Chains A and B, each alone.
Chain A
């Protein structure tokens, strides 16, 4: 992407996201005579269960990644990657770094040796500063 693009939209924070169950979407329905109509509904019967589960899975992955980062088994990139609901191949396209390099960067020993320029690429996509990327606890309010 070119230099002049500076996005200011905040990306979602999957770790703390709360599912809004009242958001209405259009549903079509049929009555007994075979006539159709459409209306706005917030819940079709299982919205809460499926939606909550799908975010619960994401949150679980984030928690796992965080634990591993704490134990120094993987680098913080893994944690932020899960936080943006990405996997290695999507992340690779966004930051412009080859997949095998990202996989290498997931190792803590190698992560410590990455230079600032490359770190900045990751930080730009995650929308955080480099300090926070190096130490995931540093940005706690």
Chain B
């Protein structure tokens, strides 16, 4: 059985891409930046106490699963999301959902994913893709990073749905159960913007939001003194990887969010959003600047080309720019 599923575009962010694909099946035309904006995926967090690839985690988006659930909630769709302890039960449930004619999103680990490009196959458990059919013990999946439809065998599929380690998905699966007749993007877009403003400016916790960016810059300044040049370069490389490579659409989602603001400006007919979108792009360029210069440091790990003070100053700059942007965005009158 194979659903008539259209794998629309390759997307930058795997979860937004999966949501676009899922909504596309129910004839809701929505773009990836729009999903990202409505789902309030924009975020920042620096978590030095959690390690991935032996380096502290720097995240530029919200927790996996939130973009989908927030998008559905804001658009007025109802959805079902489940995790299972037993792999057998989760596979049975997946078959049931597919048989009822709904494609299903799953969160998987990339380490065992056979069709994934080799260099991205680390222990990364937050990848999302859409399953849309089963035939002879093989599943059809649409992955937002890999072009075309992919097939994956039952056994492999169990394995990728039950990886271990940080953020283990435990077979997390989600699908849309009902959909209203007319969907209006206007109110959800405003809700999304408000949510993002709150998350970036107002969370009273030092490691996230704009405060988190400044905290990250301060930590970055101290890396070479505390850990030595080699480790500092390793940490820097990992944060640049998550800024540019790991499904961010470049410069840690800043460009995607700018695209969303641009689209929202047309939708809500607010010219000022377009301007803010442009500023967002400039902040994105600054981040890109950071990753470009920072990457030079990874060339020779023992001798950095640019000092870490210099790089930290760029990030402080980004923080100032973003603080200005979100304060402005919060003041936009939508009435």
Chain A positions within 8 Å of B, measured between CB atoms, are: 1-2, 5-9, 11-12, 17, 19-20, 23, 25-30, 34-36, 38, 40, 44-47, 49-55, 57-58, 61, 85-87, 89-90, 93-94
Chain B residues whose CB sits within 8 angstroms of the CB of A50 once the complex forms = 237, 240-241, 244-245, 291, 295, 298
Q: Interface residues of B toward A: which range?
A: 35 or more
Q: Give complex CA distance A51, B119 in Å.
A: 8
Q: Give complex CA distance A52, B275 in Å.
A: 38
User: Cβ of A86 and Cβ of B250 under 8 Å apart?
Assistant: no
Most chain B CB neighbours (cut-off 10 Å) among A47, A57, A58: A57
Given contacts A8-B156, A40-B10, A46-B296, A30 and B117 within 8 Å (CB-CB) = no
Chain A residues whose CB sits within 8 angstroms of the CB of B10 once the complex forms = 26, 40
Q: How far is the CB of A38 from chain B (nearest CB, A)?
A: 7
User: Cβ of A7 and Cβ of B112 under 8 Å apart?
Assistant: yes
Shortest 3 CB-CB distances between A and B: which pairs?
A: A46-B295, A30-B281, A34-B278
Contact of A93 among B155, B165, B291 (CB under 8 A): B165
Q: Give complex CA distance A70, B235 in Å.
A: 29
Contact of B262 among A9, A29, A34, A57 (CB under 8 A): A34
Q: How far is the CB of A90 from chain B (nearest CB, A)?
A: 4
Given contacts A25-B145, A27-B249, A53 and B234 within 8 Å (CB-CB) = yes
Q: How far is the CB of A82 from chain B (nearest CB, A)?
A: 10
User: Cβ of A34 and Cβ of B301 under 8 Å apart?
Assistant: no
Q: Give complex CA distance A33, B122 in Å.
A: 38
Contact of A46 among B122, B240, B285 (CB under 8 A): B240
Q: Give complex CA distance A45, B92 in Å.
A: 45
Interface segment among B21-29, B39-47, B253-261: the answer is B253-261
Chain A residues whose CB sits within 8 angstroms of the CB of B140 once the complex forms = none
User: Cβ of A7 and Cβ of B294 under 8 Å apart?
Assistant: no
Chain A residues whose CB sits within 8 angstroms of the CB of B112 once the complex forms = 7, 9, 11
Q: Give complex CA distance A86, B163 in Å.
A: 12
Given contacts A36-B258, A51-B241, A54-B238, A26 and B155 within 8 Å (CB-CB) = no
Is there a chain A Cβ closer than 8 Å to B54's Cβ?
Answer: yes
Is there a chain A Cβ closer than 8 Å to B133's Cβ?
Answer: no
5 further contact pairs, Cβ within 8 A, besides A54-B237, A55-B119: A5-B158, A38-B32, A45-B295, A58-B53, A90-B164
Q: Give complex CA distance A1, B111 in Å.
A: 17
Is there a chain A Cβ closer than 8 Å to B277's Cβ?
Answer: yes
